[in-house]
Amino acid sequence: MTAVDRIAIYPGSFDPVTLGHEDIARRGLGLADRVIVAVAHTATQSKKSLFSVEDRLRIMEEVFADNEGIECMSFQGLLVDFARSVGATMVIRGLRAVSDFEYEFQMALMNRALHPQLETVFLTPHQDYTFLSSSLVREVAGLGGDVSDFVSQPVLTQLATKRG
């Protein structure tokens, strides 16, 4: 039997990456040999971003530097095309609460219609992170609040530069 690496993509905005995202990416390694944490260039243009895609990627590379098996990339266009280009067979998404479900369910079924062999897998984070979102981190940090319980040091460092 020939062993083929199981490659999973964990896509998102990661603006910025939180401990909830980190938790999901690490759990993903229980299912796949390689997890590609992928910053989307296009999918979330409706949201105003704090960090550029390049900055988000640099921060994530630092955050996941010690995790063999986790890689960071950015992608443009359709997730299914990116999945094909890297040979991924699985998409990982995080589910925090019922409020995440409808959008995630729609997207999973659309991605299946576009690429039937690509399975979407939902993982739940540690309960400490179920309330956590990048938008809340941006908001609290922007108002001068302490977010050190919610993001890693490289994120804190970059948030500080935004406050000037």
Catalytic residue IDs = 21, 47, 96, 134
Across the beta sheet with 34-40, what order do the strands follow? Answer: 70-75, 34-40, 7-12, 90-94, 119-123
Choice between 86 and 123, CB closer to ligand ADP: 123
Q: Using the rule CB under 6 A, which residue among 61, 78, 133, 136 binds ligand ADP?
A: 133
Nearest to 90 by CA among 122, 68, 121, 116: 121
* 119 is an interface residue for ligand ADP by CB under 6 A: no
Cα–Cα distance for residue pair 42/39, rounded to 1 Å: 9
Min separation Cβ 110 and ligand ADP, Å: 13
Min separation Cβ 121 and ligand ADP, Å: 11
**Can you read off the two tokens belonging to residue 115?**
């690429």
CA geometry: angle 150, 45, 34, nearest 5 deg: 55
Choice between 34 and 138, CB closer to ligand ADP: 138
**Can you read off the two tokens belonging to residue 79?**
């997730």
Cα–Cα distance for residue pair 25/22, rounded to 1 Å: 5
Ranges of beta strands (E only) in the chain are: 7-12, 34-40, 70-75, 90-94, 119-123
* 129 is an interface residue for ligand ADP by CB under 6 A: yes
* 120 is an interface residue for ligand ADP by CB under 6 A: no
Choice between 25 and 34, CB closer to ligand ADP: 25
Q: Site for ligand ADP (CB under 6 A): how many residues?
A: 17
Per CB under 6 A, which of residues 2..61 are in contact with ligand ADP? 12-14, 18, 20-21, 24, 44
Instruction: State the residues that interact with ligand ADP by CB under 6 A.
Output: 12-14, 18, 20-21, 24, 44, 93-94, 96, 100, 125, 129, 132-134
